[in-house]
Structure 1
C-alpha cells in the first residue's frame, strides 16, 4: 500500500495571504470585465492612464510606468502600444537622452480615464461589498477597509 504524504498545514501567514489573493482575483476579475464592457479598456490600460494623468505633464518614462503598473518592460511596451493604437497615449523620445522613451497621455486618454474612473470606483466598492459577504473573506475585507 502506497502512502500519499499529506500537504503541510498552511501557516497563518500563508492562510492570510491566500485570502488576500482570493480577494484580489475576485476584485480584479470584476473590474476587468466591467471596464472592458463599458469603456473598451482593460484594467492595465486604466491603471496606466491613471498613472499618466497623475504624472507631471502627463508623461512617465516607460520604466517608471512599468514599475507603477507592476509590469515588466516588454509588457508595458505592449500596453503603451495598445494605448497608442487607441489614441489614448503615445511614445516620445527624451530630448536629453535619445535612449529614454516616455509614455505621454493624450487628451482623448484623459477623457477616457475621466469617464472610466467613476465606473472603476463604483465597481471596486461593489466588488469589495460582494467579497465581504463571503464568510471566508469578511474579515479580510474589513481589515483592508479599516486600514484605509
Structure 2
C-alpha cells in the first residue's frame, strides 16, 4: 500500500505544481494588461455570466473561492475601478449584490480573449516542461 500512497502524493504534488504555474502566469499577464488579477477576473466572469449581471456577495464568495472579508475588499477595488457596483436587496435589506457595470462588461469582453490566448500560450510552455508536460498532456486527453 505505501507505493500507492506515494503515487497519490506524487500525482497531487504534480497537480498543485501545474495549477500554481498556470495560475501565476495568468496572474502576471492580467496584472500587466488590466491591472487586476485572477480573483477579479473570476468575479468579472461570474458577474458577466449571471442573470441580470449580478450576484449576492455570498454567491460571489463561493465562485471566487475567497473568504467573505477578502471578497468585500475585492468588490470594493472593482467598484473603485468602475467595473462593478453594489446594491442592497429591496426585499431583504441584509442582502447585498454586486452588479457588473457597462465598463465592466467592456473590460470583460476585452479580457476574455486575452485570457484564452494567454492560457493557450502557458499550456504550450508548460507542455514543453519535462516534469509538468506529461501531466498536462494526460489531463488534456
**TM-score class, shorter:** over 0.9
For 1:19 and 1:61, locate their aligned partners in 2 and report how far apart those are by CA, in whole Å. 35
Question: 1:91 and 2:86 equivalent?
Answer: yes
Matched residue, 1:61:
56
Shift of 1:11: 1.6
Question: 1:48 and 2:43 equivalent?
Answer: yes
TM-score, length of structure 1 as denominator length? 0.89
RMSD: 1.4
Structure with greater Cα Rg: 1
Matched residue, 2:113:
118
Shift of 1:127: 0.9
Deviations 1:77-108 (A, max 9, x none): 01100000000001111111000111100000
Deviations 1:64-83 (A, max 9, x none): 01101111111110110000
Aligned length: 139
Secondary structure of the residue that 1:135 maps to in structure 2?
A: coil
Q: Mapping of 1:98-109 within 5 angstroms? A: 98-109=93-104
Deviations 1:31-66 (A, max 9, x none): 111111112221111110000000000000101011
For 1:31 and 1:18, locate their aligned partners in 2 and report how far apart those are by CA, in whole Å. 20
Question: 1:23 and 2:15 equivalent?
Answer: no
TM-score, length of structure 2 as denominator length? 0.94
1:13 to 8, 11, 17: 8
Secondary structure of the residue that 2:97 maps to in structure 1?
A: strand
Which range is displaced more, 15-24 or 132-141? 132-141
